[in-house]
């Protein structure tokens, strides 16, 4: 999955770039100029074009935000492929700020991971990807519950936890992610990190 900004940035003309806190975009200059730019973009090669971290739109100034939303609408019209926006609650609010775009995007929520066959399959994939010499048994019901509780059920946190555990396993000479290795792994979940930060602010 690629970022929309990363995808279009190589094709953007230097003098027309607009810089903001959330990236660099091409100011929407109308249909004729946009039609010319479309031919500079590489082929998508897919029936869907995912744009990640769409919530960053809200970090820009009002005029920059409008330009980006105009660009999204233009891409949907010209490329004639579905656009898939991925982000936090703020991404939904960004799309809602444009009535036409809101009609084109149908919001869906992604639930957190639970202790089911899909999660155990995901854990098995993680296990197979780590360069450990011994097998890591992470797919039991008890281990799955432990991992999900500690990472709070999100795939990004799970990846961070297991990667840190794999490093700990190698450094400890275990060569496998075990309960003991996980206990020794220096990892704090989102809630714990937030509380730690807020204590320092008080």
CA separation for the pair 156, 168 (Å, rounded)? 18
In terms of phi and psi (left: phi > 0; alpha: psi -120 to 50; beta: otherwise), the region of 23 is left
What pLDDT, on a 0 to 100 scale, did the predictor assign at position 109?
Answer: 87
How far apart, in whole angstroms, are the C-alpha atoms of residue 25 and residue 58? Answer: 14
* pLDDT the model gives residue 28: 37
Q: How long, in residues, is the chain? A: 202
pLDDT at 134: 95
Residue 114 pLDDT greater than 50, yes or no:
yes
Q: Binning pLDDT at 50, 70 and 90, where does residue 200 land? A: confident
Question: What's the rounded mean pLDDT across residues 92-117?
Answer: 87
Helix %, strand %, coil % of the chain (to 5): 55, 5, 35
Sign of the Cα pseudo-torsion (84, 88, 94, 95, in order): positive
Please tell me the distance from the alpha carbon of residue 176 to that of residue 97, in angstroms, as a whole number. 49
Instruction: For residues 89 and 74, give the distance between their C-alpha atoms in angstroms, rounded to a whole number.
Output: 23
Q: To the nearest whole number, what is the mean pLDDT of the chain?
A: 77
pLDDT in tens, 161-175: 999 999 999 999 999
User: DSSP string of 104-129?
Assistant: H------PPP-SSHHHHHHHHHHHHH
The predicted model gives 58-75 an average pLDDT of: 76
Give the predicted TM-score (pTM) of the model. 0.63
Tens digits of residue pLDDT in 127-138: 999 999 999 999
Cα 50 from Cα 159, distance rounded (Å): 21
The whole-number pLDDT of residue 52 equals 54
């Amino acid at each position: 999955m690629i970022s929309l900004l990363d995808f279009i940035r190589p094709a953007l003309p230097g003098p027309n770039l607009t810089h903001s806190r959330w990236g660099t975009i091409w100011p929407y200059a109308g249909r004729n100029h946009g039609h010319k730019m479309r031919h500079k973009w590489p082929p998508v090669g897919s029936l869907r074009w995912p744009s990640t971290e769409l919530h960053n739109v809200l970090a820009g100034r009002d005029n920059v935000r409008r330009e980006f939303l105009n660009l999204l609408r233009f891409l949907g019209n010209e490329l004639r492929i579905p656009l898939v926006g991925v982000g936090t609650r703020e991404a939904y609010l960004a799309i809602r700020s444009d009535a036409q775009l809101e009609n084109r995007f149908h919001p869906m929520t992604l639930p957190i991971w639970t202790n089911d066959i899909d999660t155990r399959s995901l854990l098995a994939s993680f296990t197979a990807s780590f360069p450990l010499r011994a097998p890591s048994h992470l797919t039991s019901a008890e281990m799955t519950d432990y991992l999900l509780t500690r990472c709070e059920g999100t795939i990004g946190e799970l990846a961070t936890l297991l990667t840190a555990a794999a490093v700990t396993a190698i450094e400890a000479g275990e060569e496998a992610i075990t309960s003991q290795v996980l206990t020794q792994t220096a990892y704090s979940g989102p809630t714990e990190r937030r509380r730690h930060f807020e204590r320092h602010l008080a």
